[in-house]
Amino acid sequence: MSDEVETGVRRLLPEIATLGATIFFRAEDTEKWECGIYKDGYNPLRTNDLMYKMGVCTRYGKVHPQYKLKASRLKTFEGWPKETMISGEKMADAGLFWTSTDDMVICFWCGGGLKDWDADDDPWVNHAKWFGRCSYLLERKGIDFVQNVHAQLDTAGDVVVDTSMTEVKNMDTSCKICLEGSINTLFLPCRHLASCDVCGSSVTECVICRKIIDATVRVFIA
């Protein structure tokens, strides 16, 4: 059922008998197996290289939109067999929901699947290791995190906002949605900086101008 890797978590391989109509295919640029139903050959893990390197997360349809909220993902972990090793809370935060089969989990956004978890595994690290171009992952953790997981690179892919700019220096940096997190997500094309990464990954329209969000950039206010 799975493809053995060197250590730890294994990526899921297709088994049509148990997963019914779910469509599997091999994404050559990621060398992983993904599952999901995509239109016109679109794969959310195949992101434009230039945009990816710039840390811009393009917005396409989520593979499993019913799990876009953390609360809905967390609910799937009732009865999670490895709660004492890795909590469902951590899994859900990393965008994963439980399939109720062994310890198989799937990302609600990119459809990437992982299984065979060990106590020292980090959901975010494994998400980045196998599905580093997932837009949800990039929105929440930033491209630097993904690059460090893969190659310990020093290249900064995030956007740094210079606080010498008056409008940024004097702005309220609290998230306009939850009012608790810090603003770090820039919406495109409207260019409004209004939410934290958690809230930003859950909305489809800008909270300020109500324009559809086509892409996001993770921002550090220096």
Model-level pTM? 0.52
121 and 179 fall within a common domain: no
Under a CB-based contact definition with an 8 Å cutoff, are residues 142 and 55 in contact? yes
Percent of residues in the chain assigned helix, strand, coil, to nearest 5: 25, 20, 55
Please determine, for residue 83, whether its predicted confidence score (pLDDT) is greater than 90: yes
pLDDT tens digits along 198-212: 888 888 888 888 888
Three-state secondary-structure class, residue 124: helix
Positions of E strands within the chain: 2-3, 10-12, 24-27, 32-35, 56-58, 96-98, 105-107, 113-115, 159-161, 185-188, 193-195, 215-221
Please give the share of the chain, as a percent, with pLDDT higher than 90.
16
What is the predicted pLDDT for the residue at 189?
Answer: 80
pLDDT tens digits along 19-50: 333 333 333 333 333 334 334 444 444 445 54
Please determine, for residue 53, whether its predicted confidence score (pLDDT) is greater than 90: no
Length of the chain: 222
1, 52, 190 from 187: Cα distances, Å: 39, 15, 6
141 and 114 fall within a common domain: yes
82 and 22 fall within a common domain: yes
Show the domain range for 194: 159-221
Among residues 118, 133, 151, which one ends one of the domains?
Answer: 151
pLDDT (mean) for 127-146: 85
Among residues 127, 151, 175, which one ends one of the domains?
Answer: 151
How far apart (Å, rounded) are the C-alpha atoms in residues 143 and 200?
16
132 and 47 fall within a common domain: yes
How far apart (Å, rounded) are the C-alpha atoms in residues 193 and 205?
13
117 and 191 fall within a common domain: no
What is the predicted pLDDT for the residue at 74?
Answer: 96
